[in-house]
Structure 1
Amino acid sequence: METKQQGIFAGKAAFITGAGTGIGRATALAFAREGAQVAVVGITATDNQETVRLIEQQGGRAVAATCDVTRPEDVQAALAKTIDAFGRLDYAFNNAGVEQQAALPAELDEDEWDRIHDINLRGMYLCLKHEIPLILQQGGGAIVNTSSGAGVVGIPKNMAYTAAKHGVIGLTRSAALDYAPQNLRINAVCPGYIDTPMMDRFTGGTDAGRAEVVAQEPIGRMGTPEEVANAVIWLCSDASSFVVGHALVVDGGQTIQ
């Protein structure tokens, strides 16, 4: 199928991790609607393929790559597949992440600490490390990293997750300074409570659990994956050309209470 030749990203290519579901899938679809060729990257092949199907259904072009972001060889292979398919890389949305099993700090298992940091922070570093040279070959572009509302405030019983998401913002700001002179803008997006499969796990999938989350949102509802996708598209577009190293909070006002 031919690449769409319309939209603000026409002729460009985007690499999106965690693209099999939720925010990642919504953002992959948004990039495709704006004309980008999309590498759909995630841990579950069937989820990736469904995102590809949805992109192709709307007239876009995509390729799927199964990838564990904690494994550098997986990240490199997924990027190589992207270059083989599209011949270039212009944008990356590093979105793969997992939630923590709630626990008080003194009761937090060391293995759980390591798991959260391996995926949510080390995986971010590995993706950045291998994406940056490819984007620079095109003369620049943009990268967005997924932090969280937990990247700007503390979350009770979520010390590992909160620390990792704070780390994502630090990583983003440091890398942004290093590459801004080379026309590569690096920013972060910080979602609040978004209605995704991860949120279903966080709330237990019950009406009571969802109501407890919604009660924390001044706007009176959870956000949608598409609302976060819109923020990512803006951060990658020329409309945000003077935005560098920023952590854009998309949370319905939750973190300013």
Structure 2
Amino acid sequence: MTIDSDPPAPKDAATSRRPVRRLGLAVPGDTELVRALPVEAPVSVEVCGIGYAVMMATPADLKDYALGFALAEGLVDTPAQLARVDAHPIEGGWALRLWLMPERAGLALDRVRRRVGESSCGLCGIENIEEVLRPLPPVAARLKVGRAAIAAALAALTAHQPLGRATGAAHAAAFCAPSGDILCVREDVGRHNALDKLIGALAWTGIDPGGGFILLSARCSYELVEKTVRAGCPLLVTISAPTSLAADRAAAAGLTLVALARADSALLVSGDIA
């Protein structure tokens, strides 16, 4: 697998500095300052030379995003099936070009052509409502995680969010050991993108998502449940509440879902926690 970025992504691709004015509300007085904002840019995803989707994302960790996106979309099953990734800045955004190994390219191209030629309900890789509700594979991994481990991961998360601390406007997806130690974090303005980046990073390094749990600084929508289940992770913890469909899908797939996680409490939505 080769990764190209020509020219290379700038080190500050994740943030942009902007002059702003802090307004005094409860206390009179304004302050002029320079504030870091997270970069949000269109990322055009192409598969084997054919346009697949345009995502709004932070153009950092695009190698991880490419693999995580391909895994989530079912374009590949393993990192070895992704032959090449090219990431290039273009006018108005970025181009992310994925090239698949021959054994996957034909299937993927057929799917891409169907997506281009048919109406879509607006979800990546989904052509109709029936596909949204198709059964998920049951989660096979089993993991014992205690409440103290969840609390420890929550307490440590902020220290692993440089983009979030700098801007106050980025989501984080963290992979945690059963002890609660945070092993890997990826950030993005989009919660789905952050999770795709995390799943891609784990896949590149050969870390089994079934051996730990995922912690998200986001509302738990059904897509995040689907991505977690398809990655093979048995436990998802989110800081905000789940949607009804997310809760239903988690329960049906055997995913333990903990939501509204705070320092002092959390909601057990599905599954079991010791």
Q: Same fold (TM over 0.5)?
A: no
* Larger fraction in helix: 1
Q: What TM-score range do you get, normalising by the shorter chain?
A: 0.3 to 0.5
TM-score by length of 1: 0.32
Which structure has the larger Rg?
Answer: 2
